Structure 1
Amino acid sequence: MARLSGTRIEPSVEAVAVANRELKLRTVVQFVKVHHLAQEWRVLLYLTVDYPVPASATNAWKYANGDVSTLPYSYTLATIPTLLRDGADSVMSTYYVIPSTPKTPHPTLPIYFPNMAMYLQSALEDSRKAMNDSSSGLRKLAKSVDAYCGNEREIIGVDEGPEKRSFGGVFKKVMGRGNKQSRGNRGGNEEVFELVTPFVPEEWG
């Protein structure tokens, strides 16, 4: 994702035509087991435009309290994707709805892939900082990354501890770019994330 600097996520023409506001991106991260007997998990991203919650909506409060297990209100306006229908936690999958925080607000669309990658990394850092906070669900993302992706060398690295696990490693695995030998043939500046401008809330929020 960080390598695709010319690719961006943008709202549909229809969404832009009817909106009279900045369009924000809502992101759901899902970890899915490939088979009930397998140990391998996949990471899926679901992206939607943030939709204002009408005051008349049923249980409107639950869409505005930062609950990481409640899908955004926009999911009530269309058919929920099949893999999300089993709920936030099941035997085969778990998902995390990235909340807006002071450090990591919802991005404004359009957003280029490198900045999206840094947004995801910032969300993971928020989650790691909340690892000892059992009163909120923020730590769920970090715990999921460690549980379902933490035993992969492509993600951790031979000499790296849990604090080094990141979405960078997750995407290298998903995109088939976690091979150490292939990285060694690229010369200097191998880690693209070192070259990407950090996520800045004032710029993208």
Structure 2
Amino acid sequence: MNFGTPPISPSLKPFAGVIPNVIALPYGRTLPFYIKAPSWRNMLKLMARLSGTRLEPTMEAMAVVKTEMRLRVVISFVKVHHASSDWHTILYITIDHPIPPNAPTGWKYKNGDTSTLPWSYTLSQMPAFLRDGADSPLSKFYTIPSTNELPFPVLPISFPNLATYLATALETARDAMHDSSSGVRRLAKYIDQFYPNDRPTFDDGPERGGMRQRLKNFVGMGSRPQRDRNADVYELVTPFVADDFGR
């Protein structure tokens, strides 16, 4: 976890540091915050277990923005080496930013294209793995669009609620698997391609209303006692220091 571009290495290292209770996100010209995990399932598993951690805007952001602030989430998949078959999952997060009326290409940020980065990502230097486009040989990205059923998340938001948002985005992509008119299905295709053994068996559960419980079952929390909040942080590969982002 950090701001900017995550390091990618074929070797996994033990997680260093402590996950803070609060991760404060700045507004405007700032690098995206990222969370990196070895796989999609590892990402959801970690976030679902960190019930005491939440994302919220910085005090400076709240002084500037007087309305509710929403997140823009981009999911990236990066190949650890050109000769490897392993792909890491990276979650990029910024606070949504309005598109200036005079922006020359502002229209392309409003059509829900999953292959276009949000406007808020153009306000600072773009992370390296997002510069090669949405479907390059070594990296892919998917911008979660806003829909009536799945609007952009509102800050503050807990990690478990953010995990539920991600799981619902994947279910939405699976529902669109036979729709070739949009790019919504790309998320499901990427995850099935890169992590074929991670597909959850959600078919026996209720539909949207039971997503939170289905997510718990998927990450192994449905019937087992809750573990320590840092029990699974070893599955991330980037050291994190609480004092850098917590307050």
TM range (shorter): 0.7 to 0.9
Match of 1:53 in 2: 99
Partner of 1:39: 85
2:125 is matched with 79
Alpha-carbon distance, 1:83 to partner: 1.2
Q: Where in structure 1 are there 5+ consecutive unaligned residues?
A: 173-182, 193-205
* Structure 2: unaligned runs, 5 residues or longer: 1-46, 206-210, 227-247
2:186 counterpart (140, 150, 156)? 140
2:51 maps to what in 1?
Answer: 5
Q: Distance in 2 between matches of 1:43 and 1:122?
A: 17
Closer, same or farther: CA 81–31 of 1 in aligned 2, 3 Å: same
Question: What is the match of residue 110 of structure 1?
Answer: 156
Deviation, 1:163, is 10
Structure 1: distance between partners of 2:112 and 2:204: 25
**Aligned residues between the structures:** 172
**Which has more helix, going by share of residues?**
1
> Which whole-Å CA distance do the structure 2 matches of 1:20 and 1:42 have between them?
36
> What is the aligned-residue RMSD (CA, Å)?
2.7
Deviant stretches of 4+, over 4 Å: 160-164, 166-169
The answer on whether the counterparts of 2:192 and 2:199 sit within 8 Å (CA) in structure 1 is: no
1:190 aligned partner, one-letter code: R
* Contact 1:25–1:109 under 8 Å retained in 2: yes
Distance (whole Å) between structure 1 residues aligned to residue 99 and residue 118 of structure 2: 9
- Code of the residue aligned with 2:82 in structure 1: it is H
Give the corresponding residue for 1:14. Answer: 60
Answer yes or no: is 1:190 the counterpart of 2:209.
Answer: no
Give the counterpart of 1:30 among 65, 76, 92. 76
For 2:193, the aligned partner's letter is A
Q: 1:90 corresponds to which letter in structure 2?
A: S
Deviation at 1:84, TM superposition (A): 0.8
C-alpha distance in 2 between matches for 1:122 and 1:191: 24
Q: Distance in 2 between matches of 1:32 and 1:81?
A: 12
Q: Which AA in structure 1 matches 2:53?
A: T
Q: Which residue of 2 aligns with 1:201?
A: none
Q: Deviations over 1:71-130 (max 9, x none)?
A: 000111110011111111111010000000111100100100110000001111111111
Task: Indicate how the Cα distance of structure 1 residues 115 and 78 shifts in structure 2: closer, same or farther if over 3 A, else same.
Answer: same
Shift of 1:2: 0.7
The whole-number CA distance in structure 2 between the counterparts of 1:113 and 1:64 is: 27
Pair 161,116 (structure 1): closer, same or farther in 2 beyond 3 Å: closer
The 8 Å contact of residues 176 and 184 in structure 2, kept in 1 or not, is answered as yes
Distance 1:80 1:148, change over 3 A: same
